[in-house]
DNA sequence: GCACTTTTGTCGACCTTTGACAGAAGTTGC
DNA sequence: GCAACTTCTGTCAAAGGTCGACAAAAGTGC
């Protein structure tokens, strides 16, 4: 049997990945194949369930053409956002639409088996609630609050995750859920979520998360930049010009020691305002505290200094500011914009936009869902699945 | 005729791109195709000249298998390195080996038509000298000393290239040389040359060029990062912590105002040492001037401060230090290493190497040649060429 | 209702891929 | 030096994918 059988099928499917409905003729034009060949592939894709007819197109003077589109409910994916003190598990369809979610206040320091155990149980129960089978779940994406070696799915020396160093998260969950598991850093995943949902036409985006820590996810040329060891985008310990504040990392003048939640709270206490946590800073800003506004604007300026370098270095078209501190405070955004536009090269800022996160606290899970979907629907994986379905007797071999 | 005719042919060719010789069986194993199919594709590739037999493999107990490899002399490419005051044009084979080169001391400020005119003439004469036809040249790569929009092949507001703004370099040369022209920033091209020749197994590399200006080329995940407008890697105007030196860009504390050639020369004059140009600084360092050593080490530290951010942000496995000032002075390298290893995160520096450029002043042309070769031998271009050759009557259509 | 337009499913022809086979080329052991 | 064995090469028919064409179906506009 010809092994290239389903090759072009995944090519056709790739065109439908954006969710838009298309006629057979449109697909033929876009793929370069003949209409008759496209029809054959569409039949294959419909028999697997990944594609479904969605009515007819308007007539252009003759018979109406039938429209086909990705069938989001064909399979399920799971997105998981693990924070320092919470875990969110969301069940979603292939279009990225959330179907059901679970949340637990769980300390990541309790260790991998406790956290991942809860996640596995949550997935099983969400799937059961929807009266679907675990076999329908084709991939799991998961974001962790620390450095992750994406290729192997293991955290590497994560500061706030004791017991997780080199733990094989991907394999542990795969054994229990029976599908591929993609692991990445939480900020990377937020960047992915933000880019795919709010900025689909932007190929170069930087997401800055400002909360108890500060980090960035960099998407360049449409691809997430992870670097050699998966630690790319670590803004928190970049030195801010003009600051000598001591940082827990041992160096001084780090951005995190100046502009992250704890540093802002400390600064407010110096001004005589009671604030001990990131949450309280957010609350003060929401109440309109003048001191909070002032300190947040200064923090924004410090972040802006560092982002100005990022702009010169990476040349993004959009910077998205996210994280708990960004949501509550326009001052942070104002401080950032002020410095970035002054300190970066004119050529790099000419078409640069600095925007607030669109997904309200949701970017992490959204990104995890995207990570899972993009793996499950990638040509390689789809080819293997189509091959397996066309020959149920043969074992699945991944090349 | 089936349009997919030569599809798999380029796949086989892709395997031979690394220059290593292989037997039909090896290619079959690596490509997943049957031996007989591979044999057919090899025949096609030999008839076009891109692949040639290179003797027999050692016997493993039976008949010796014949070896096939990329035939470097099948076609020619051109690499061009345009500097502020010089132009180098090199004719190379498909293996990237230089065949012949021309150099001119030509000021880039004389404008595009003068410089490009000289380049076109140089190419013609080099090709003629080698008794080959201009038709054998399949691609030209060219590096320019300023921001370039790679996709369109036009410089964008280049500071030291008056008259070049938005000039269609690619089209101008294509019309006169009759083959595709790839344009990029000179530092990007140096990074490409360095990575492909000296660090082929490294996917994440940053090249820093230290000369009259300072810039960086970033290769991440094996791909050159150009950013939204092609200005990525602009280190020169990143702010150095602790410096307030005024810069020609209008800001203060820029790296270029502290650590580039003119700044170093100015600093030496403050110390009573006569130095006016980058070249004189290099000469002083070569003579073992203590003042030059001291100033260069300080410059290295300043560059190290900025590179420490780059390491946190991009997480490369190798930083290559190139440019005129790097070649002459170990002190620069020492200063850089000292600060980078102290200021970057331990996780990011754990496997980080900081190396001197291996290609002695040659990285620019090497990278331009690589750019040309990788375009000319890319599957898309090769498919089109094979299709055109199999149907000489039909016009070539690029999809 | 009729002429015209457009889509759809089907079919034979063509091309690529495959696995098998016989012959060629080389090695090893006696 | 010869026989037995191993491995590679070229050829070929069968199988599968793709294509263009065609007739039937479905819809529009007058």
CB-nearest to A345 from B231, B310, B350 is B231
Q: Which residues of chain A have pLDDT under 50?
A: 1-6, 393-399
Look at residue B303 and tell me whether its pLDDT is greater than 90. yes
Alpha carbon B59 to its chain centroid, in Å, reads: 40
- Å from the B29 CA to the C28 C1': 27
pLDDT of residue B100: 97
Backbone φ and ψ of B321, nearest 5°: -105, 120
Q: Are B101 and B91 in contact (CB under 8 A)?
A: yes
* Contact residues, chain B, for A308 at CB < 8 Å: 238-239
Rounded CA-CA distance B168/B156 in Å is: 10
The closest of B34, B35, B21, B48 to B377, measured between CA atoms, is B48
Q: What is the DSSP-derived secondary structure letter of residue B396?
A: P
Tokens of B25: 């069986």
- Is B233 in contact with A313 (Cβ distance < 8 A)? yes
- Å from the B24 CA to the D17 C1': 25
Give the DSSP letter string of B162-210.
TT-TT--HHHHHHHHH-S-EEEEEHHHHHHHHHHHHH-TT-S-EEEEEE
Rounded CA-CA distance A193/A81 in Å is: 11
CB-nearest to B228 from A3, A235, A316 is A316
pLDDT of residue A259: 93
pLDDT-derived band at B123 (thresholds 50, 70, 90) equals very high
CB-CB neighbours of B130 under 10 Å: 13
Q: Which positions 43-62 on chain A have a beta carbon less than 7 angstroms from any atom of strand D?
A: 56, 59, 61-62
Rounded CA-CA distance B305/B299 in Å is: 10
Distances (CA, A) of B389 to A237, B356, B369, B396: 57, 44, 25, 9
Put simply, the chain A residues between 104 and 163 with a CB less than 8 A from any chain B CB are: 147, 156-157
Look at residue B28 and tell me whether its pLDDT is greater than 90. yes
pLDDT of residue B324: 86
The closest of B216, B166, B159 to B189, measured between CA atoms, is B216
- The number of residues making up chain A comes to 399
Beta-strand relationship, B87-93 and B98-104: antiparallel
Look at residue B314 and tell me whether its pLDDT is greater than 70. yes
Q: For B29-107, where are the E strands, in sequence order?
A: 51-56, 66-70, 76-82, 87-93, 98-104
Q: Is B217 on the interface with A (CB under 8 A)?
A: no
pLDDT of residue A367: 97
* Contact residues, chain A, for B305 at CB < 8 Å: 239
Q: Are A63 and A50 in contact (CB under 8 A)?
A: no
* Contact residues, chain A, for B347 at CB < 8 Å: 147, 156-157, 229, 231
Rounded CA-CA distance A314/A233 in Å is: 11
pLDDT of residue B333: 93
pTM more than 0.75: yes
Look at residue B327 and tell me whether its pLDDT is greater than 90. no
Q: Among all chains, which residue has been given the structure tokens 């799915």? A: A153
Tokens of A131: 């009266």
Helix or strand run (H / E) with residue B83: none
Mean pLDDT of the residues in chain B: 91
B369: three-class secondary structure by DSSP: helix
pLDDT of residue B338: 95
pLDDT of residue A7: 66
* Contact residues, chain A, for B231 at CB < 8 Å: 312, 315, 345, 347-348
Residues 6 or more apart whose Cβ sits within 8 Å of residue B221: A223, A225, A226, B203, B204
Burial B329-338 (b: 16+ CB within 10 A, else e): bebbbbbbbe
The closest of B359, A278, A39, B211 to A286, measured between CA atoms, is A278
Rounded CA-CA distance B344/B307 in Å is: 9
Backbone φ and ψ of B123, nearest 5°: -60, -50
Tokens of B124: 């013609």
Distances (CA, A) of B154 to A54, A385, B117, B143, B316: 44, 44, 16, 11, 29
**Pairs across A and B, CB distance < 8 A:** 146
Put simply, the chain B residues between 311 and 350 with a CB less than 8 A from any chain A CB are: 312-317, 342-343, 345, 347-348, 350
The closest of B205, B198, B191, B187 to B351, measured between CA atoms, is B205
Within 7 Å: CB of A7 and strand D? yes
Q: Are B9 and B389 in contact (CB under 8 A)?
A: no
- Is A228 in contact with B313 (Cβ distance < 8 A)? no
A386: three-class secondary structure by DSSP: helix
Distances (CA, A) of A367 to A39, B250, B335: 33, 40, 40
Rounded CA-CA distance B112/B5 in Å is: 42
Rg, chain B, Cα only: 23
Rounded CA-CA distance A140/A143 in Å is: 10
Across B108-125, average pLDDT: 97
- State what percent of residues in chain B have pLDDT above 90: 73
Beta-strand relationship, B205-210 and B98-104: unpaired
Q: What is the DSSP-derived secondary structure letter of residue A72?
A: G
Beta-strand relationship, B353-356 and B214-220: unpaired
Within 7 Å: CB of B62 and strand D? yes
């Amino acid at each position: 049997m010809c092994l290239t059988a389903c090759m072009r099928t995944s090519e056709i499917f790739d065109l439908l990945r954006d969710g838009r409905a298309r006629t057979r003729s449109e697909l033929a034009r876009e793929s370069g194949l003949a209409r008759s060949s496209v029809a054959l592939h569409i039949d294959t894709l419909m028999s697997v369930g990944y594609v479904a007819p969605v009515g007819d197109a308007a007539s252009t003077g003759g018979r109406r053409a039938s429209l086909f589109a990705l069938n989001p409910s064909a399979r399920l994916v799971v997105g998981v956002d693990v924070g320092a003190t919470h875990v969110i598990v969301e069940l979603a369809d292939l279009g990225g639409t959330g179907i059901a979610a679970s949340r637990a206040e769980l300390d990541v320091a309790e260790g991998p088996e406790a956290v991942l155990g809860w996640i596995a149980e949550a997935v099983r129960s969400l799937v059961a609630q929807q009266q679907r089978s675990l076999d329908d779940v084709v991939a799991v994406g998961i974001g962790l609050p620390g450095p992750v070696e994406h290729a192997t799915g293991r955290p590497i020396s994560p500061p706030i995750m004791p017991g997780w160093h080199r733990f094989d998260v991907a394999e542990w969950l795969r054994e229990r859920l029976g599908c591929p598991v993609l692991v990445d850093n939480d900020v990377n995943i937020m960047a992915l979520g933000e880019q795919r949902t709010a900025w689909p036409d932007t190929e170069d985006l930087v997401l800055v998360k400002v909360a108890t820590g500060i980090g960035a996810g960099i998407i360049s040329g449409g691809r997430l930049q992870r670097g050699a060891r998966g630690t790319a985008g670590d803004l928190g310990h970049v030195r801010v010009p003009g600051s000598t504040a001591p940082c827990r990392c041992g160096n001084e003048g780090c951005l995190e020691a100046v502009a992250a939640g704890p540093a802002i709270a400390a600064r407010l206490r110096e001004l005589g305002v009671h604030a001990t946590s990131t949450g309280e800073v957010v609350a003060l800003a929401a109440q309109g505290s003048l001191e909070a506004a002032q300190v947040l604007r200064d923090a924004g300026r410090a972040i802006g200094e560092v982002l100005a370098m990022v702009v010169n270095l990476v040349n993004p078209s959009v910077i998205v500011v996210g994280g708990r501190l960004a949501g509550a405070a326009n001052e942070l955004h104002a401080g950032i914009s002020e410095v970035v536009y002054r300190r970066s090269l004119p050529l790099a800022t000419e078409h640069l936009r600095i925007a607030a996160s669109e997904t309200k606290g949701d970017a992490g899970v959204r990104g995890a869902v995207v990570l899972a979907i993009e793996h499950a629907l990638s040509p390689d994986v789809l080819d293997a699945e189509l091959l397996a379905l066309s020959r149920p007797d043969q074992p699945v071999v991944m090349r």
